[in-house]
Each structure stands twice: as structure tokens, then as C-alpha cells.
Amino acid sequence: MKYSIKNLVRATMTLIVILSILFIGVISFLLPSFDVKIIGLILGFSFVIIATCTSFIVLVTNHVHTTLDSLSQTIESIIDDNPQDIFSTIEDTMLSKLQSQIIKLSDILKAYNIKQKKEKDNITALISDISHQLKTPLANLNMYNSLLLDEKLDDNKRMEFTKNMESQVEKLNWLMESLIKMSRLETGIIKLYPQKQSISQTILQSILMISSKAEEKGMNISLNGDDISLIHDSKWTQEAIFNILDNAVKYGPENTEIDILIIKYDLFCRIDIADRGGGIIESDTNKIFTRFYRGENSKDKEGVGIGLFLSRKIISRHGGYIKVKSIPGEGTIFSIFLPTSNYY
């Protein structure tokens, strides 16, 4: 750029000199007689023009160099992660706009890099968590397989170990399905197919999915409230509600009630799922939706801590959210909020 400006200055100066000489020549040719004073005036005027043009070009060149240096300083400050306003942000000039756009572009690129790093860290953490969760059932299968290879093993033990292997295979299959759902939700692969349909029917399908487990414990699930039509993906909303109901049945005492209530607001539809379980201690309330987290009150129950994580992800994809209110020893209320308007 610097050499281009110098070349432009030299070319302009040369052109001015040539035009001045031609101008003097034309005027001299047109004069009827040679007049030293007139020629002197013409020469003086020509030199004034040359000097003025030269000064103007030098000033413009210096201004361009100063501007480019300032832009260079702006870019350098961004590279050093310390962006500075070299040009005044108060004045509405082209240079201040250019500076603002450069800094804005830098912020966009920085945010993109942070997002990419976060996604990479999430994938790394996800792979680590999946590997950890698969270790136990695979180790159990390997152990039972080694025991079954013993030819001296009696039939009763062989049947017991075979059933244990079957249980571990079922657990592994369930775990793999849950992990696949979780990874697809986290990476945004899963697409929702929302339709305007009854939220009551969606909830009833979730109740049907958990009914056999509830009956085994003598638990009754009731549904009350107005039937509301919402734009939602019924399949995935069923999955979210089922996971909450599954926790209520798993951790709730026998022969108790689980109440589901639908309440309509202007912007959201609220679905309360209330159980009579042992409740959630306050320190766990903000952690129960974390991937693979299991609260202090659930250590003696089988599970890996995926259900509530999936529920939150699914409801969030619908533009909603989940709130929890719990009293230890009395029960827990999970409140699901789904938008009544078309979020999509």
C-alpha cells in the first residue's frame, strides 16, 4: 500500500509538470509576439499551481498514512485481545463506523470460537460419561459369562447367573437407548415435529407407559384440569412427562397418589406432577437436571440419572421450562411450563 501511494504521487507530479509545460507552450504559440513579462507571469502561475498541487498531494498522502496506521493499531489491539477505540465513537464518520464493524466482527468470531470450544468440551465430557456408565454392566456381563463357562456349575446356579445376565443385558439395552437419545438431543440432531393437539392425550399416553409399574406398588395416578390444545411434539413430550412419572413411582412409597394437574395461563400451559415421596433435599434441587447426577435420597435406588436431564432438554426444545418445589418427607411437585403460542 505504501509503495502504491508513492507511485501515485510520482505519477501525479509528472502529469502536472507535463501539463504545465504544454500549457506554457500553447500560450507562447498563441501570443502574437514574444513578451518576457507575460511569459514570466505564466511561468510563475505554473509554479504556483505545481507547488499547490504538490502540497495537497503530500497532505493527502500523510493523512492516508496516518489513517492506515490508526487502523493497524485498532487491528493490533484486537489481536492482543484488548480492543481500543482509536477513532472517536462520538463522531459519525466512516472511520468510526469501520472501527465499530471491525470490533463487532472480532466479537462475533470470539463468540463463535467460545461456542465451538464449549461444544467440543461437551462432546468430550459426554464420551467420558458414557464410557463410565457402560463399565458396570459390561463388567457384570463379563463376570457372569466367566462363571457360566465353568462346566462344574450346578443347574440352579447356572439358571441364576443366566437370569442375572439377562437383567444386565436389559439394563445395557435401556442405557444405550437413553444415551443415544441424550447425545442426539445435546448435539441438536433430533428434530421435533410439533402439531396442535390435546396435551391431555399426550399426558394420558405417558400415564399408560408407567401404569404397570405404578400398579405393582399400588400407586394411583390421577389427571385433572382443562383439556388444552397445544402445538407440541407428542412423542417427545410423552418422553419428558414419563421420565418425571417414572421417578415419582420409583422413589415414592407404596399405596400413594400421584396427582397431575393442567392449568392454563395466557402465555404458558402449566402441568403439575405431585407425588407423596420423600422429597428432594434443598442442596439437590438445582442439580437433579444435571446429566448423570443422582441425589442423596436416591443412592439406594437403581438408576443412572438420565431421565430428568432428558426431560429438561425436551421441554427446553419446546420453548418451555421445568420448576421444582419439594418438601423433604412430604413430596415433590414438578411443574412443566409449555408455551401456548406457536414457539416454532
- Terminal CA-to-CA distance of the chain, rounded, Å? 50
Regarding pTM above 0.75, the answer is no
C-alpha cell belonging to residue 27? 500560450
What was the pLDDT predicted at 277? 83
Q: Which residues of the chain have pLDDT under 70?
A: 1-13, 15-17, 19-43, 45-46, 50, 78, 80, 83-95, 99, 119, 122-133, 174, 178-179, 182-190, 291-305, 342-344
What was the pLDDT predicted at 165? 82
Give the DSSP H or E segment for 183.
Answer: helix 155-186
Cα 224 → chain centroid: 36
What was the pLDDT predicted at 270? 93
- Describe the crossing of helices 94-148 and 155-186 by its angle, rounded to 10 degrees: 170
Neighbours of 313 (CB within 10 A): 20
What was the pLDDT predicted at 160? 83
The whole-angstrom separation of Cα 211 and Cα 94 is: 68
For the segment 180-228, what is each residue's pLDDT rounded down to a tens digit? 776 666 666 667 888 899 999 999 999 998 998 899 899 999 999 888 8
Q: In 187-233, which residue ranges form alpha helices assigned H by DSSP?
A: 199-216
What was the pLDDT predicted at 75? 74
What was the pLDDT predicted at 310? 85
What was the pLDDT predicted at 2? 46
